Structure formats: structure tokens, C-alpha cells
Structure 1
């Protein structure tokens, strides 16, 4: 984690930097004594987190915190100040913590832990958004053309004799691609493998009917019947709350 300390007092900056360096989550620290100097660091370095004082000579730390909202990806902010009466205002602009001077190692470690969690959650959201955008469409190479469909239109997919059949409500597309290839383009929350040779969209399951050998067959919205392999049964039951 790369941390920028913004404080107009050199002694306070150095003290906080020392405490931060005792935490193994902190890899790099920078210092700035003014809003402009801080912006220069933020725009030219990779900064994950700010420890921001409120009173900066004739400037106010809230001004910088508000300016950060204009950035595509802004660092998280922890206010580090001697003033206890600005906490509500700080959290109103989404600061993740508010640390009072004089600083203590335990309290700094606690703030860093909050920052780690915030960064982890943001990275997870970005990844999910990326996957959502990626999974919006599937280009299926068939024998004589490439067909583009929306991924959520897929009802089921089955492999047989080296061919992949992708079923929608109205059509079937046959390709030489594999089931594992298709899974890369599907939302894993909505699609589940129910047999070594088949995947289904769980939102299209209409019925679960008993089948032989104590297993089941799925009836889908397109009237298709998909058997469930025994080794996949426990996971499917968990998903469908059976």
C-alpha cells in the first residue's frame, strides 16, 4: 500500500511516517505539506491512501478531499488531525477513518486495516464490473459464420461427440469450441455445471424431476431436459435450496 501524508508540520509528518513504516501493509510513503504538493504526488505516483490533516497553513484539508472526487480513481482518505469536531463532516465525504493526534501505533494499525478492507472491496467491485462488461456478449464460431448473442440468452450448453451445442430459447448454435471455453464468457453466479458435459442457466430451470440412480433431470424454459450428474448433485441442491 502506498501512503501519502499531508501535514504542514514536518515533525507530525515524520512521526506518522515512522508509525506507518512499522506496518507491513505499507510499502511506500510520501510526504506533502500543501494541497498543491499533494496533488502533484497523487497525479504522478500511485497513491492508495492519504493521511490528511485538516489545517494546512492557510488551506483546508477538506478542499483536497473534495477535489479528489474529480479523479477517475482517487485514493482513500483518512483524516489525521488534532481537531475532534470535524469527524461528522469527514465521514460525510466518505473518509474511511478519523485519527486524532497524538498518534499511537495501535490506532494507526487499526486505520490501515480499514484501508486494506476498503481497497480490497473496491478492487473486487472493479473486477466484477469488468467481468460483467466482458460477459455481456459471446461470439460463437460456427461452421460457416460467427454468431453474436447476449450471454444471458444462453439457456444451456451441451458437449457431445466433440461438438458444443449452445441453446437459447429460440435457437441452437453448434461449434467446435469447448465447454470450458464457454464458461469464460458466462456469469458464474447464474450458470452452473450439472454434468461433465453440460452447463445450465439456473434462471431457466422450471422443474427438477427425479431420475434413475437417485439423481434428477432438469426441465428448462425451452422444454429441454438436462440430466444431473451424481457428482454435481450436492452443489446443485445447495444452489436451489433443495
Structure 2
């Protein structure tokens, strides 16, 4: 389990990290613990590693932890969030944005353990669901729209991108918008032709028409349906290997 502690107070980060490491709940888990003092540093860690659990303070100098929680909707996966703060008046808002738990300062081992127990339970459930999806081996994809479900063949998918929490799945003939996450789609598109090229995008490499240089040493993909998909710098190496560039 990868855990990120975000707090602008060094002593609070140290205390919470100590209680996490000490917790008996994680005895059977391989834990990697990261720390960040502000949103920018947290963003860098979230982009570099697939964080499973985020302990997030609400008051971060001039920043607000809810800003980072909102940005997580743009990721290809959804880390669990535990708000760890000195303020108890944000609890309702915290759970409105999907927080797993809400832990107050000063931190206590028992409350930290309870939050970790919830996270372990969710993580185990997700892993079991992932195994079941892989075993199903279906070549079709069911997409839940606002008013109906549509069923398409997986290999018809040309590209999928996330913008403002909306996942857009493109085929040669149609675009489908759903509230599902990119992580949900990635679990189902297990064929070798599908590759994540950005934290917000997956493409079918067999449908890439052109690869063009883009700003800041990134690339822009032109797909067979003429849609454009940007390649993130951290994903460029794997794309180059797949395409033999």
C-alpha cells in the first residue's frame, strides 16, 4: 500500500507517519510512505506513484486541501482520502467529496488504526474485483451513460480521455461520456494494444495515425478518427518502446 501524508506542519507529518508505521493494521501489507508539505509537492508524488491512500490536511498555509481533493478527479485512478485536520467543522464537506474517514488532531493511534482498517478493506475489495474482471475475459465493454447502457467491442475503442471528471470513450463512429473513471476502464482494456499515455488518457496504439512533437518535450498523437491525445512526459518512454521510436 502506498500512503501519502500531506501536511504543512513538519511535526504533524512526523507524528502521523509514525502512527501509520506503528499500526498493527498494516502488518500484512507492504507499505511505502511518502510525505508532502503542500499541494504542488503532493501533485508530484501523485503523478510519479500510484498512491492508494492520502492523509490530507485541510489548512495548508494559503492553500486548501479540498483543492487537491477536487484535482484527484483528473487522475486515472482514485486514491482514498482521509482528511487529517485540527478542524471538525469540515466533516460534512469532507464526506461530500467522498472521503473515507476524517481524523482530528492531535492524532491518536486508535483513530489512525480505524482509518487504515477502512482503507485495507476497500483495497482488498478492489483487488478481488480486479481479479474477477480479468477472469471474465470478455471482449465487449458495457458503458453506463446517463440514460442507458451501450455495449461495444473493446477493440473498437480508439481513445479515452478524462476532463473535469467526465470520461469520454471514442470509437470511429461515436463518442460516449460517462462518470466512470479511467482506472475503471483500464481494468477492462487488458489487451496489449491499449496503452495509458497520460494520467488522463488511454489509446489504442493500433489506431495511432501520427506522432507529433509537442511542447515541453512531450508528444501529440493524432488518432485514426482525427482526435488528438497528448502524451505525458512520464509515459513517453513506454510509448516509444511500443512503437519502436
Distance 1:92 1:123 in 2: 25
Q: 1:169-209: per-residue Cα shift (whole Å, max 9, x none)?
A: xxxxxxxxxxxxxxxxxxxxxxxxxxxxxxxxxxxxxxxxx
- Contact kept, 8 Å, 1:6 with 1:31, in 2: the verdict is yes
Change (3 A) 1:38 1:65: same
Distance 1:63 1:123 in 2: 28
Query: For residues 29-68 of structure 1, what are the structure 2 equivalents within 5 Å?
Result: 29-68=33-72
2:26 matches 1:22:
no
- Contact kept, 8 Å, 1:20 with 1:26, in 2: the verdict is no
Three-state SS of the structure 2 residue aligned to 1:29 is strand
| 1:3 match | 3
Q: Which of 135, 140, 148 is the aligned partner of 2:138?
A: 135
Q: CA deviation at 1:47?
A: 1.5
Distance 1:18 1:4 in 2: 13
Name the count of aligned residue pairs. Answer: 137
Normalising to structure 1: TM-score of the pair? 0.53
- Contact kept, 8 Å, 1:3 with 1:26, in 2: the verdict is no
Answer with 1 or 2: which has the greater Rg. 1
Q: CA deviation at 1:95?
A: 0.7
TM-align CA RMSD? 1.8
Query: For residues 31-180 of structure 1, what are the structure 2 equivalents within 5 Å?
Result: 31-132=35-136, 134-136=137-139
Q: CA deviation at 1:44?
A: 0.7
Please, which runs of 5 or more residues in structure 2 have no aligned partner? 141-152, 154-245
Normalising to structure 2: TM-score of the pair? 0.53
Q: CA deviation at 1:3?
A: 0.8
Task: Tell me which of the two structures has the higher relative contact order, counting C-alpha pairs closer than 8 angstroms and 6 or more residues apart.
Answer: 2
Q: CA deviation at 1:46?
A: 3.1
Q: CA deviation at 1:26?
A: 6.1
Distance 2:61 2:92 in 1: 22
Q: CA deviation at 1:127?
A: 3.1
Please, which runs of 5 or more residues in structure 1 have no aligned partner? 138-149, 151-242
Q: CA deviation at 1:103?
A: 0.5
Distance 1:30 1:107 in 2: 20
Distance 1:127 1:73 in 2: 17
